[in-house]
Chains A and B, each alone.
Chain A
Amino acid sequence: MTPVIDAVRQLFMDLRTQKLRTFLTTFGIVWGTVSLSLLLAFGDGLYTQMRRSFAGLGDRIVIAWPSRTSLPFEGINKGRRILVTEEDLDLVRKESRLLLSISPEYSSSFKVDIGKKTILVDISGVEPEFGEMRNLVPQKGGRFINHPDMDERRRVVFIGNDLARDMFGEEDPVGKTVKIFSSPFTVVGVLVKKDQDSSYSGRDKDKAFIPASTFTAVTGAKYPDILIYKAKSPDMNQPLTEEIRGILGKKLHFDPTDKEAIQVWDTTEMFVFLDTFMGAFRLFLGIVGLMTLIVGGIGVSNIMNVVVEERTREIGIKMALGATPRYVLFQFLTEAVIITALGGAIGLAISSGICSLFAKAGLEEFVGVPVVTLRIAILTSSLLGFVGIMAGYFPAKDAASKEPAVAMKF
């Protein structure tokens, strides 16, 4: 134990007496750490942000439009219109093994009166599950449409956040009344601000949602325009679609392989693409960061080289007094590791600082929120440790292999 403590004590003495060198070496490592961890953090932040805005439409849902057949079936010509009813949806709910939830969406534009103001609004009639699937999260104090609303055909409405501002300005809309089809509806919730970069019928922030049962009762609509559904696990969306085409094909007499009868947009594909693309992008950022770190490491190695050269005489003297090559190696390695650890810690702190500044800068929509996560910290510091040890090892090995008489002549 004694020699280790002595070595460390001596190391700190050396670090103190060689301030400039310690500073430069540490700076190199700080630089490498900041670059690597920032690049990783920005990559992660961007990924999370893109994923979130992709999920604005809903997290891996399928959007389906009942359309016209493109294949003749059971003697009926192609081009027949397929109309799905609530009854058919109940059948799907009963027979499908893969289904998690399904909701119809009836939609139409209506005039809405708020006091003396009248505006034209896209209104959708949906079921409670729709909110969950389409990521329609209510702001505090409000709620989405629920089952009692459905069962009792209540006249309630959930409105998008921009629409809420158009209707009520800065006032809290929840509990207020608006007139749709000349009958009063109570606002039960307002959408939280969300990022949505894809849609099929306008952004949710501008829309209003009422219970499907109310929608059909008021308008007399029988056939939903759109079906939204989701499998129990995201990778089952594809087979679920097949299954639904099978069930509805049997009931409504169309070819289950007919892709046109019910057209679908499986958003899972979008996520798969995002994951692949962002995976590659983050890998690229990581490699760039790693390169920077390695360049930093080479810098450190160079400085260590100079240090060793500068201190070869000292190494020679110590070896003359009985220091073994192993001891010399140990001393320089410890030194490299401590400088690396110090630089790494400072670097990670700087990166975290920069990240939190970014979080405050309000650039979230474009670059997301970069965060130095534990994963990034561990990744960076283990790479750093490796580089540091390499940088310390080779010059020290070189110095320790000299005969003391030779080393002392420096």
Chain B
Amino acid sequence: MNIPFFRKKNNGGDGNGIAISMDNITKVYDTGKIKVDALKGIDLSVKNGEFVAIVGPSGSGKSTLMNIIGCLDKSTDGKYELSGELVSGFDKERLADIRNRKIGFVFQNFNLLPQITALDNIEMPMIFGRVPSSERKQKARELLAKMGLSDKEAAKPTELSGGQTQRVAIARALAMDPKVLLADEPTGNLDSTSGSDILSVFSELNDQGSTIIVVTHDMALARRANRIIEIRDGRIVSDQKTN
């Protein structure tokens, strides 16, 4: 898995090398009866090529933050720029395009579509990105190969092990060559060996230039990132470089 396939073509240019820039981001969940202040003012800057781990106790707001970074949800207030674009002001159609082209998201519960094959799953973002069919197939095969799953092309997600499923999900996240790869507890549903394997994939992708943000409970895994951010009660309480 060390062929320069994942190497970023050009990380400079837009956003002055800044991948993510957040200014006083807040999120209030309003369920009607109660309001939950899930994020209480997040200031965060991530440079291109960084490998960031986000840690914190359950309910501290890690997923909420990741969803906002990934444009899967909107912040209640604050400014968010993704590689120089002020996405906090975008409408739904433009956000869909941002998710498609700039972000790769890996979930704890994989979120593959169960009825279709591994290959079809990987092709999915490219369909939305209007990549021509033949190009799509070829790219999806290459990605599967990088993940060491060439023989699982026609397998449905239910026919794969947890680690294999997550690797298909990573391949899908990489399909559109995103600026940023986000993963919310990608190893949460895996045993420790497969979890460690997945983290190795991230390390490798980072070595090849990808910007990566991972949420994890496991401090041992978190230490493999080069920056650890700790969140408590909707606030960043520590932000440290490792080694």
Contact = CB atoms under 8 A, between A and B. Distances in A.
B113 A322 contact: no
Interface in A1-43: 2-3, 6, 10, 13-14, 17
Contacts of B97: 322, 324
Contact of B115 (A17, A319, A325, A326): A17
B133 A2 contact: yes
Interface in B93-150: 93, 96-97, 99-101, 105, 107, 111, 113, 115-116, 124-125, 127-130, 132-133
Interface stretch (B17-25, B67-75, B202-210): B67-75
B132 A2 contact: yes
A10 B127 CA distance: 11
A382 B107 CA distance: 44
B180 interface: no
Interface string B177-215: 000000000000000000000000000000000000000
Contacts of B105: 320
Contact of A405 (B73, B93, B125, B130): B73
B127 A3 contact: yes
Nearest to B105: A320
Nearest to A314: B113
Interface string B77-93: 00000000000000011
B167 interface: no
Interface in A374-410: 401, 403-406, 408
B172 interface: yes
Nearest to B93: A324
A323 interface: yes
Given A6-B127, A322-B125, A317 B72 contact: no
Nearest to B172: A321
Nearest to A16: B115
A326 B107 CA distance: 24
A275 B132 CA distance: 60
Contacts of B222: none
A318 interface: yes
B82 to A, nearest CB: 14
Given A404-B72, A405-B73, A322 B92 contact: no
Contacts of A281: none
Nearest to A5: B133
B99 A320 contact: yes
A355 B107 CA distance: 57
A321 B133 contact: no
B74 A325 contact: no
A271 interface: no
B236 interface: no
Contact of A323 (B67, B73, B96, B101): B96
Chain A contact surface mostly: helix
Q: Which of A326, A401, A403, A405 has the most CB of B within 10 A?
A: A405
B72 A321 contact: no
B176 to A, nearest CB: 7
B207 to A, nearest CB: 26
A399 B108 CA distance: 23
A170 to B, nearest CB: 69
Interface size range of chain A in the complex? 20 to 34
Contacts of B129: 322
A327 interface: yes
A322 B96 contact: yes
A321 B93 contact: no
Contacts of A14: 115
Contact of A321 (B67, B100, B115): B100
A100 B23 CA distance: 93
Interface string A316-357: 011111111111000000000000000000000000000000
A321 B74 contact: no
Contact of A320 (B111, B115, B116): B111
Given A6-B127, A403-B74, A408-B72, A324 B116 contact: no
Contacts of A408: 72, 107, 111
A380 B92 CA distance: 37
B96 A319 contact: yes
Contacts of B93: 324-326
Contacts of A321: 99-100, 124-125, 128, 172
Q: Which of B74, B116, B124 has the most CB of A within 10 A?
A: B124
A280 B93 CA distance: 50
A404 B124 CA distance: 16
Nearest to B94: A324
A322 B115 contact: no
B101 A322 contact: yes
A318 B73 contact: no
Contact of B96 (A6, A325, A406): A325
Contacts of B124: 318, 321
A14 B113 CA distance: 11
A320 to B, nearest CB: 6
B92 to A, nearest CB: 5
A403 B29 CA distance: 13
A406 B73 contact: yes
27 contacts: A2-B127, A2-B130, A317-B111, A318-B113, A318-B124, A318-B128, A320-B70, A320-B72, A320-B99, A321-B99, A321-B124, A321-B125, A322-B96, A322-B99, A322-B128, A323-B96, A323-B128, A324-B93, A325-B96, A326-B93, A327-B128, A401-B92, A403-B73, A404-B72, A404-B73, A405-B72, A408-B111
Please list the 4 inter-chain residue pairs (A to B) with the smallest Cβ-Cβ separation, ordered nearest first. A322-B100, A405-B73, A322-B128, A405-B72
Given A319-B99, A403-B73, 12 more contacts: A10-B127, A13-B116, A317-B111, A318-B113, A318-B128, A320-B72, A321-B99, A322-B97, A322-B125, A322-B129, A404-B72, A408-B72
